[in-house]
Chains A and B, each alone.
Chain A
Amino acid sequence: DSGVTQTPKHLITATGQRVTLRCSPRSGDLSVYWYQQSLDQGLQFLIQYYNGEERAKGNILERFSAQQFPDLHSELNLSSLELGDSALYFCASSVLGDSYNEQFFGPGTRLTVL
C-alpha cells in the first residue's frame, strides 16, 4: 500500500459525459501527478500540481482539467468523453515538487467510456 488513495476504482460512463476522479496523496506529500495508461500509448504524463499550484504539464487534452485543493487532495475532471478516453488513470504523489523524486502511485481508476 503506497498510501495514495484514488476513488472510484471503476467508472463506466457514456460518450459526451463528464466525470471527476479523486486522489488523496500520501500524508506529507505536496506534489500530485496524474497519468493516463492505455494499451496503445502506454503511460502518459498529464499534469502535476505542487502545493496547490500547477507545476508541469504533459499531454493533457483541453477537455481535461485538474486542480489541487488546500488539503492537497486533487481532482481530475474529464469532459465530453470519447471512446478513446477509456483507460486507467493513475495518481501519484511525492514529497517535493521535482518529478525526479520518488513518486508513489495509487491503485488507479479504470474508466470505461461506452
Chain B
Amino acid sequence: AQSVTQPDIHITVSEGASLELRCNYSYGATPYLFWYVQSPGQGLQLLLKYFSGDTLVQGIKGFEAEFKRSQSSFNLRKPSVHWSDAAEYFCAVGAKAGNNRKLIWGLGTSLAVNP
C-alpha cells in the first residue's frame, strides 16, 4: 500500500538559513507527489507537485523539491527561509481509490523560524 513518511516532526531554523524537509514515499509505480503548506489557523495550500519529467520542481514562495527515485524521496528545499515560512508542511502521494484517485498524506513537519 502507498504510504508517506516525513521523518522530522519538528524543525527549527534561523531566518535566512537554508531549509530541507524530508519526505519518503512507498509506491510501486511512478508516483505523483505533492507538497502542501498549512499556515497557522489556515487550510492547506499547494506548494508544488511532481508528475513526470524534470526531477527538480519549482513551486511557489521560493520552494523547490527534488524527486529521487533511487531514494524514494521528494525533499522540499528553500535556500533562505523567511519568518513567514513558519508553518506545517505536508507531503502527499497519489494513490488509487477504486476507479479514481486520492492523496495519501504524511503526518507533517512543523517548521519554526527563529529571528
Residues of A within 8 A of B (CB): 2, 4, 42-45, 48, 55-58, 90, 92, 97-100, 102-108
| Closest A residue by C-beta to B90 | A43
Q: A48-B102, A99-B101, A99-B103 are in contact. Are A42 and B43 (CB under 8 A)?
A: no
Interchain CA distance A5-B71 in the complex, whole Å: 39
- Beyond A42-B105, A43-B108, A100-B32, is A48–B100 a contact (Cβ under 8 Å)? yes
Interface size class of B (residues with CB under 8 A): 20 to 34
Taking the closest CB of chain A, its distance from the CB of B50, in whole angstroms, is 11
- Contact indicator A56/B98 (Cβ below 8 Å): yes
Q: Can you list 8 A-B pairs, Cβ within 8 angstroms, ordered by A?
A: A43-B105, A44-B105, A56-B97, A58-B97, A99-B94, A99-B103, A100-B94, A105-B42
Q: How far is the CB of B53 from chain A (nearest CB, A)?
A: 15
- Chain B residues near A100: list those with CB within 8 A: 32, 34, 49, 51, 94, 101, 103
